[in-house]
Amino acid sequence: MLRRLGLLTNSEIAPYFITVARLSEPHKGQDMIIRAMPSLLRHDPRVRYVIAGEGPLKASFSALAARLGVGHAVRLVGPVDEAAKAVLLRSCRAFVMVSREIRRPALFEGFGIAYLEAALAGRPSLAGRSGGTADAVVHEETGLLVHPLSLPETTQAALRLLDDADYADRLGWQARDRARAGFTWEHAIARMEGCLESVLP
């Protein structure tokens, strides 16, 4: 799959960021990463941005990438099944979803299961500091949090992860440890049972 998407050349995986989300929710921040791509490509022409998902925003993202001259580096791959998602998450430099809050209609990240999926794959997240994101991503421990409307801040955070693969890996390992320790179904069930035991006679 990586080769088919142009992410694997001569057994070398290109550094890429990925967002997996429905393309019907404008607050997810794919547009911000596309806007960061010109700077990222000037720094490293190999970098790619994979957008997985389907919805009415796909055409506008494609048009934005073309207008900025980064269409060749933005892969709009459509919906992916669980197996493909696992491969894409496991091999990425980081999962990115710089979610912001939109008032009308009211849209925001309530928690962010997608960040935990990335964590369980051993990858860090680059996330917007809004809504409940900070409960899923710990800044400088399991990923990086940025102001979701700041293109310079988002770009610098992406460059940091792009430049330092070891740093990205370390954040990813810490993210996986945290997710396994507190956010699996087993732990959720144990917490619920503990709550029930504390109130039932």
**Predicted pLDDT of residue 109:** 64
**CATH number 3.40.50.2000 is the correct assignment for the domain at 8-199:** yes
| Pairing status of strand 74-78 against strand 94-97 | unpaired
Task: Determine the Cα–Cα distance for residues 119 and 171; give it in Å rounded to an integer.
Answer: 9
**Predicted pLDDT of residue 27:** 86
Question: Which residues of the chain fall short of a pLDDT of 50?
Answer: none
**Predicted pLDDT of residue 185:** 53
Gap between the terminal Cα atoms of the chain: 55
**Predicted pLDDT of residue 146:** 96
Sheet with 94-97, strands from edge to edge, namely 74-78, 48-52, 16-20, 94-97, 125-128, 143-146
